[in-house]
């Protein structure tokens, strides 16, 4: 099944907690908490906004991984620079995801990862002048090159919206991560509904 993952905006959205709660109640998708500018205390206070374990169980933390032992989150995400730090891997009851920007990745991917983000695929919606639009042939080739050497699920990231998500699915990616297509929309929930309808099997 093609997986949808939602990544939070770096800066808090004014209705972020309400939107995330609505999404978790209505869609079977994972939520990646990415707050690179939050201190650990700000991160902790952010997580405390969600009192339901049903919601927190969907969260994967990009920063302050030590909070994964304090909150019942789903897992942690290792950035490229984090992957070599053994201390971040001691989360046996959690899933671990990671990111790459080059295929094949010289680090090599192990079975410990539940899935990996590959980016950017298109011009970013949330970051100005970041990424370029790949052709369908390029996308398929990236998937082919990755899957020659790894059985880890490959999630596309970067500039994905309702206009190109079908292309991502047809290129062989196992899922797509959304950021700007949702949070930069005047109606984030409607935007997600449209995308979800497009990729239904």
Can you give the CATH number for the domain in which 117 is found?
A: 3.20.20.70
CB 60 within 8 A of CB 75: yes
Could you read off the pLDDT of 77-101 as tens digits, one per residue? 998 777 766 555 555 589 999 999 8
**Alpha-carbon distances of 51 from 10, 48, 55, rounded to whole Å:** 21, 6, 8
The domain of 107 spans 3-199
Mean pLDDT, the chain, whole residue set? 90
Token pair for 61:
């933390």
How many whole angstroms separate alpha carbon 33 and alpha carbon 17? 11
pLDDT for position 97: 94
**Residue 4: which region, alpha, beta or left (left: phi > 0; alpha: psi -120 to 50)?**
beta
CB 165 within 8 A of CB 198: yes
pLDDT for position 52: 93
Region 11-21: what's the mean pLDDT?
A: 96
Could you read off the pLDDT of 142-179 as tens digits, one per residue? 999 998 888 899 999 999 999 999 999 999 999 999 99
Token pair for 153:
């699920």
Split into its structural domains, the chain has a count of: 1
């Amino acid at each position: 099944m093609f997986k949808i993952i939602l990544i939070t905006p770096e800066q808090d959205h004014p209705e972020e907690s309400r939107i995330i709660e609505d999404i978790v109640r209505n869609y079977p998708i994972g939520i990646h908490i990415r707050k690179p500018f939050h201190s650990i205390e700000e991160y902790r206070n952010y997580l405390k906004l969600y009192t339901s374990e049903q919601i927190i169980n969907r969260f994967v933390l990009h920063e302050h991984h030590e909070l994964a032992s304090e909150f019942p989150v789903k897992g942690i995400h290792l950035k490229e620079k984090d992957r070599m730090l053994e201390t971040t891997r001691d989360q046996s009851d959690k899933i671990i995801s990671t990111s790459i920007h080059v295929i094949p990745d010289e680090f090599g991917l192990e079975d410990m990862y539940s899935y990996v983000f590959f980016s950017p695929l298109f011009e970013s919606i949330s970051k100005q002048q970041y990424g370029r639009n790949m052709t369908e042939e390029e996308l398929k080739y990236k998937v082919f090159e990755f899957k020659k050497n790894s059985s880890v699920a490959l999630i596309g990231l970067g500039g994905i919206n309702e206009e190109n998500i079908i292309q991502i699915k047809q290129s062989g990616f196992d899922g797509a991560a959304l950021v700007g297509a949702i949070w930069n929309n005047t109606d984030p929930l409607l935007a997600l509904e449209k995308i979800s309808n497009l990729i239904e099997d």
